[in-house]
Structure 1
Amino acid sequence: MPAMIRTALAGDPRRAPWLNASSLFWIAALLVLGAGLGLRDPWPADEPRFALVAKHMVESGDWLFPHRGGELYPDKPPLFMWLQAVFYALSGNLRLAFLLPSLLAALGTLWLVRDLGRRLWSEQAGAYAAWALLFALQFTWQAKRAQIDPTVTFFITLSVYALLRHLLQGPDARWWMLGWFAAGLGVISKGVGVVALLVLLPAAWARWRGWDGIAAMRGPRFWLGPLALLLPLAAWLLPMLMAVHASGDPALQAYADNILFRQTAKRYVDPWHHHQPFWYFGKVILSQWLPTVLALPWMLRPWCTALRARDPRILLPLAWVLLVVLFFSLSSGKREVYILPALPMLCLAMGPYLAGVLERPWPRRLGFGFALLLVLAFAAVGAALAFSEPAFEQKFEAARGVAHGGDAVGWLMLAIASFGGAALAWWRVARGELALAWTLAGLWVGVSLFGYPLFNDASSARGLMRTVGEAIGADAELGLVAWKEQNLLMADREVVEFGFLQSRQVQLERAIAWQAQAPDTRWLLVRESALPECADRSHGRLAGSANRRNWWLLRAGAWGGCAGGLSVPGAGGEDEDADDGG
């Protein structure tokens, strides 16, 4: 069996046809990326927001203007939420639907990298590139989350894939058009899809310098690309702008202005949050692109040799990676996920040489050492949770919002460490890369299958909202103040909210007036940090904690001492922990 696995990992399908390179890879990818599907609800910061928008689309029938509760949500283009809504409409199960776009996008990105490596070099090159991408920490982590980034990464990778098919294996007008079209899909996913077109810059430079093997698209057929880019934009923008114009609604006009200008050019040129230094993405690459980046020192020589030989197969993806990192580095607003689309092309450029690199002793030692560090870290923390003094466990539970789950988390971490330790003992230093692959696979599968249920109630607010529903009874009405998207999403009934972007002062004033209309049947769920000093907490109860926030459930009598006016903490400014999701 180990010999067959080594053969399959090396990209050689001889013997064991059921365990060839392709089948083994896709089995591993489905296990690592798909484990835990359906075992958790959306978790903050971004997941409940997008799932709430998608749910509203299906239930309201309004797919053109995304809503967060009763307010328009203008921070992101709608394509990702459309995908979630489609899967929700088809399945009727939000737990499945909200993660499916990320899972399918990640699998699609892996296929593109593997196929392009096969076409440009060999089956083995494509296989190694795909394995390197699958186990890069940032790629796997994001693929298992319902954020926009895996989807936009797929569209950007598809765009670069198609353009490279034209540039390196063309000319081919069909691939040229698909490259631009996919970039347009990236734009209506997150606005940054056009970075895929940066690959045309090193291609133009190489042609100018006389490099061979690079196709051009001249004359009228060139404009087929920009036209293809405009198609997905027009499919979204034209109906939206026509509806805005026909409505005459100032709120819809503000939505259009925000999504078209504030969230695009203004966000890049003059960002209002996530400020980081110019070199920030270097830190991200060295930490979140592990373990793939451990092979970089051994890549420099073959890359330089290829560039001296004027090999455009290396120049184009590598130059594009550098341009993407530079593009996002020039803006002062940075988040680690911004450069995720560059990772697949870095793995592609590494693919032809990884087999040779992994025959060397030091890369194998590094892989083994990284796996050993993971095993020791999980073992240490797991043992501390399972066997230490209660104070440490209580501190962990408070920090992670897990009620009485520290022991279970500790034993889970010990189980993952034991699996990793067995992999280290089986493969040893001589096959350190396989020890690392098995350790990472065990980590992701273990956390997904057993960690998701442990953390879900607290992380998703399902436990809190279940407690609230049981406390007020089936016939009561519920209002939310200073709420987060997960509270609205996990509620067991139709609830009343008083604006998400409204100040806490305004929300609470509206909520008290609403509650006074039917004081015997209406309750308010209020975040503790938004409660004024005048509130009488004896007319309510601490409902519980979720996402490291305490929530109070209050009846109308709680506001008797507030007749002189409310003084709400944080009422004059933005929510102190607001996060627009980048």
Structure 2
Amino acid sequence: MPLPGGHLARVLLLLLLCLGTFLPGIASLPPTDRDESRFAQATRQMVETGDYVDIRFQDVPRYKKPVGIYWLQAAAVAVTGEGAASPIWVYRLPSMIASMLAVLLLYGLARRFAGEDVAFAAAALLAAALVLNIEARLAKTDATLLLTVVGALGCFGLIYQRVTQGLRTAPWPALAGWAFLGLGVLIKGPIAPLVAGLAVLTLALADRRSGRVGTFLRALRPLSGLLVLAVITAPWLIAISLKTDGAFLSNSVGGDLVPKLLGGEESHGAPPGYYFVTMAAMLWPGGVLFGLSLPWAWANRHRPWVRFALAWGVPGFILFELVPTKLPHYTMPYFPAFLLLGAGAALEAFKPVTRLGRHWRRFVLAVFAAVGVALGLGLAGLEWYFTGGAGTAGLAAVVVALLTVTASLVLISRAAVGRAIAVMVIGAGALYAAAFTTILPGATVLWPAPAIAAELDRLGLTDAPLLVSSGYSEPSLVFLTRTDIRLLSPAEAAAAFAAAPGAVALVEAGSRPGFDAALGGLAVQELAHVRGVNVSRGKPIDIAILRRGPVAP
């Protein structure tokens, strides 16, 4: 079933779709804990100090990820003219723009080897994917990593298609692909080369009897490509190694990457099968087409582009399932491949359909419906629980979810694929708009740091000689208050507070007894309280804002 629209019209439509799905909420959603605020604060300190080589969060080296995302965020600060004190939306711009470019690149490159309709449908579904809509609104690495993976694998897919057709390939796809891998290294270390390398290795093994493996590998121009990668990555790696006496590489590899490979790092361990389960939500709504495509994909594995998409997505996904440390977004680099397969199968009405395939189809459609309804009900429940009643946005989310699921199921059953994709994309966009512009920002109890910053501003304490916090040390507090805020134990906070006239302390209720005992009877003014939930720890908090000095009469 062909989809409507010419090439330029589709590009413009995808651009509008990206703006409609990624933009709502980018400014209204408060800074999240913990990774986003750490990235944004480290970038802020780069801008404040003018040191664009070293990476620090307050006085602590932050040597887990390379410098690429910090440079992009610093560029956003410079372009917007907001300065180091830029609001969080400025630091999120690279993620939003990278998400848009990933969608456009998937269409622009995949159309050359998978066909116009397949590429367009996959790109539209990528723009609607839940996981990308989360990452597009966060000042982190993952959306930008996705861009580099789509760019690299898109170029290599084009090469593979031409090699299987017996055609010569120009140098630019290979060199561009290696350039994307170099950028990926600067964003998140070895992940992008790992994704690409495993796909190439899989194709080489699968095609070992075809006689074209050597041609394909030569067409990738590995020697020239490695040179391109080195030119992009080596200058900063050398600079940071010299500046830190090798501490960056030892910490990023030995302190971050290796522990994640060997065990559940940072309490994020999970057994194999975790990604298979969570993908139903992370890839929603387009994941339903991928689920339905599995019998079709296996039956059509002889097609070059299907073979390439399988090599891109399946082995790496399995590898990530075997790694102990897991978070739902870690497998996002494989989702474009899955959506290409889903789009390809859908456009051919998922043929062939076996008896086993019919049972699988019912299961996949049921999961799709359950996830959609759960999203709508979850958003409504979140609004009701944290705001004290059902609001318009929550009710709208339920209605939109039910309509999207029902209409999609009906259209899929009628093989009206184009309209089904349109319904899924529009419905998902409406859900995300409600979630990120109204429901999540409106649940203010989940965001203590903005409330604390607002109270400090209301009380005229933003320029206090010293600001300390005990019992609440989330990175968003640093980002929203000041770089030199001191995050201390109760005894340490009391000592610093007592030694600085005019000091201000933020003390969580659990730390208050120790703080008061260490003060030794020093008079303090209790100016305000902020109550909320520490989402990172999953517990309620009550933070007192204290100022040193006599109690007001």
TM-score in same-fold range (> 0.5): yes
Structure 1 equivalent of residue 317 of structure 2: 325
Structure 1 residues 514 and 209 mapped into 2: Cα distance closer, same or farther (>3 Å)?
A: same
CA distance in 1 between counterparts of 2:151 and 2:215 reads: 18
SS of equivalent residue, structure 1 residue 119: coil
Within 5 Å, give how 1:130-529 maps onto structure 2: 130-169=123-162, 170-191=168-189, 192-195=191-194, 196-210=196-210, 215-218=215-218, 221-245=221-245, 254-273=247-266, 274-296=268-290, 298-307=292-301, 310-357=302-349, 370=368, 374=372, 378=376, 382=380, 396-397=385-386, 405-407=387-389, 410-419=391-400, 429-430=410-411, 433-451=421-439, 453-455=441-443, 458-459=446-447, 461-471=449-459, 473=461, 476-477=464-465, 478-482=467-471, 483-491=473-481, 495-498=484-487, 504-505=488-489, 508-519=490-501, 521-529=502-510
Unaligned 5+ segments in structure 2 are: 163-167, 412-418, 535-540
Per-residue deviation at 1:433? Answer: 4.8
Give 2:44's aligned amino acid. K
Contact 1:185 1:232 in 2 (8 A): yes
Q: Shift in Å at residue 100 of structure 1?
A: 1.0
For 2:214 and 2:111, how far apart are their aligned partners in 1? 18
Q: Counterpart of 2:415?
A: none
Question: 1: distance between equivalents of 2:202 and 2:158?
Answer: 15
**Local SS of the residue matching 2:252:** helix
Aligned pairs (5 A) from 1:6-17:
11-13=3-5
**CA–CA distance in 2 between the matches of 1:54 and 1:555?**
30
Counterpart of 2:321, as a letter, is: S
* 8 A contact 1:56–1:67 mirrored in 2: yes
Cα distance 1:237–1:69, how it changes in 2: closer, same or farther (>3 A)? same
* Aligned partner of residue 125 in structure 1, secondary structure: helix
**Deviation readout 1:348-375 (Å, 9 max, x if unpaired):** 2333332233899997997799569746
Local SS of the residue matching 1:216: helix
AA aligned opposite 1:429: V
**Aligned AA (2:95):** S
Report the equivalent of 2:516.
535
Which one of the candidate residues 60, 64, 87 is aligned to 1:94?
87
Q: Does residue 122 of the first structure (1) align with residue 115 of the second (2)? A: yes
Amino acid corresponding to residue 193 of structure 2 in structure 1? V
Q: 1:256 to 1:82 in 2, by over 3 A?
A: same
Aligned to 2:348, what secondary structure does the other structure show?
A: helix
Shift of 1:511: 3.1
Cα separation, 2, equivalents of 1:345 and 1:228: 25
Q: Match for 1:486: what amino acid?
A: S
Other-structure match for 1:53: 42
Residue type at the aligned position of 2:284: L
Would you say the 8 A contact 1:412–1:450 is kept in 2? yes
Q: Match of 1:277, as an amino acid? A: P
- One-letter amino acid of the structure 2 residue matched with residue 225 of structure 1: G
Name which of structure 1's ranges 62-71 and 542-551 shifts more when overlaid on structure 2.
542-551
The reply to whether residue 27 of structure 1 matches residue 16 of structure 2 is yes
* 1:85 matched to 2:74: yes
Corresponding residue pairs, total: 512
Q: Which moved more, 1:184-193 or 1:510-519?
A: 510-519
- Counterpart of 1:579 in structure 2 is none
Moved more, 47-56 or 116-125: 116-125
Q: 1:214 to 1:124 in 2, by over 3 A?
A: farther
- Over aligned residue pairs, what C-alpha RMSD do you find? 3.6
Asked if the contact 1:53–1:66 (Cα under 8 Å) also holds between the matched residues in 2, the reply is yes
**Is the CA contact 2:528–2:545 (under 8 Å) kept in the aligned structure 1?**
yes
Report the CA distance between 1:58 and its aligned residue. Answer: 0.8
Q: 1:20-72 deviations in whole A, cap 9, x for unaligned?
A: 44433332221011122322332222211111111111111111111111222
TM-score by length of 2: 0.81
Q: Distance in 2 between matches of 1:415 and 1:497?
A: 43
Aligned pair in 2 of structure 1 residues 371, 68: CA closer, same or farther (>3 Å)?
same
Percent of pairs identical after alignment? 21
Q: Distance in 1 between matches of 2:328 and 2:220?
A: 39
How big is the shift at 1:119?
Answer: 0.8
Distance 1:151 1:532 in 2: 45
Partner Cα distance (2:469, 2:421) in 1: 51
Aligned partner of 2:25: which letter?
G
Q: Distance in 1 between matches of 2:110 and 2:461?
A: 59
Asked whether the 8 Å contact 2:14–2:104 carries over to 1, the reply is no
Q: 2:265 aligns to what SS in structure 1?
A: coil
* 2:414 corresponds to: none
2:420 and 2:462 map into 1 onto residues whose CA distance is 57
- Could you tell me how far apart the structure 1 residues matched to 2:444 and 2:4 are? 41
Where in structure 1 are there 5+ consecutive unaligned residues? 1-6, 246-252, 387-392, 398-404, 499-503, 559-582
Would the aligned equivalents of 1:42 and 1:460 in 2 still touch at CA under 8 Å? Answer: no
Residues 371/23 of structure 1: CA separation in 2 closer, same or farther (3 Å cut) = farther
Cα distance, 1:325 vs structure 2: 1.4
1:439, distance to aligned residue in structure 2 (A): 2.2
1:450, CA displacement in angstroms? 2.5
Equivalent residues of 1:465, 1:490 under 8 A apart:
yes
The aligned residue for residue 571 of structure 1 is none
Q: Deviations over 1:186-235 (max 9, x none)?
A: 22212212222212112322442116698424499531122222223202
Distance change (3 Å), C-alpha of 1:98 and 1:131: same
Which residue type is aligned with residue 305 of structure 1? A
Judge conservation of contact 1:525–1:552 (CA < 8 Å) in 2: yes
User: Which amino acid in structure 2 is aligned with residue 288 of structure 1?
Assistant: M
Tell me the TM-score normalized by structure 1: 0.78
SS of residue matched to 2:543: strand
* Amino acid in the other structure paired with 1:535: D
Q: What is the rounded CA distance, in whole Å, between the counterparts of 1:264 and 1:205 in structure 2?
A: 27
